[in-house]
Amino acid sequence: MSKNLYTLITGASEGFGKALAMECASRKMNLILVALPDSKLQLLAETLIQKYAIEVISIEKDLSIEENCTMLYKQVEELKLSVNMLINNVGISSTMFFSEGNIGFYQKQVKLNVVATTLLTSLFLEMLKANKPSHILNVGSLSCFFYLAKKQVYGATKSYIYSFSKSLRGELSSEGINVSVICPGGMNTNETIVNTNKSNNWLARQSIMNPEEVAPIAIKGLLKCKEIIIPGRMNKLFLLIDKLLPSFIIKMIANNHINKFKSYNTGNQPTNETVFNRSLEAT
Ligand X SMILES: NC(=O)c1ccc[n+]([C@@H]2O[C@H](COP(=O)([O-])OP(=O)(O)OC[C@H]3O[C@@H](n4cnc5c(N)ncnc54)[C@H](OP(=O)(O)O)[C@@H]3O)[C@@H](O)[C@H]2O)c1
Residue 179 contacts residue 198 (beta carbons within 8 Å): no
Name the residue with the smallest CB distance to ligand X. 15
- Residue 258: left (phi > 0), alpha (psi -120 to 50), or beta? alpha
Residue 12, interface with ligand X (CB under 6 A)?
A: yes
- Window of 89-97, 125-133, 163-171, 236-244 that interacts with ligand X by CB under 6 A: 89-97
3-state secondary structure of 26: helix
CB nearer to ligand X: give 14 or 23: 14
Residue selected from 45, 54, 72, 91 as contacting ligand X according to rule CB under 6 A: 91
Distance CA 137, CA 52 (A): 22
CA of residue 47 relative to chain centroid, distance:
23
CA of residue 148 relative to chain centroid, distance:
18
Residue 210 contacts residue 187 (beta carbons within 8 Å): yes
- Window of 48-56, 62-70, 74-82, 95-103 that interacts with ligand X by CB under 6 A: 62-70
Distance CA 223, CA 23 (A): 13
Residue 87 contacts residue 33 (beta carbons within 8 Å): no
CB nearer to ligand X: give 64 or 165: 64
3-state secondary structure of 78: helix
Residue 28 contacts residue 22 (beta carbons within 8 Å): no
Would you mind telling me the total number of residues written for the chain in this entry?
A: 283
**Binding letters toward ligand X, positions 131-150, x by CB under 6 A:** --------x-x---------
Greatest alpha-carbon pair distance for the chain in Å reads: 68
Residue 32, interface with ligand X (CB under 6 A)?
A: no
Min CB(147)–ligand X separation in Å: 16
Residue 59, interface with ligand X (CB under 6 A)?
A: no
- Window of 33-41, 97-105, 123-131, 262-270 that interacts with ligand X by CB under 6 A: 33-41
Residue 39, interface with ligand X (CB under 6 A)?
A: yes
Q: Site residues for ligand X, window 179-198 (CB under 6 A)?
A: 184, 186-187, 189-190, 193
CB nearer to ligand X: give 127 or 187: 187
Residue 160, interface with ligand X (CB under 6 A)?
A: no
Q: Which residues bind ligand X (CB under 6 A)?
A: 11-17, 35-36, 39, 62-64, 89-91, 93, 112, 139, 141, 184, 186-187, 189-190, 193, 282-283
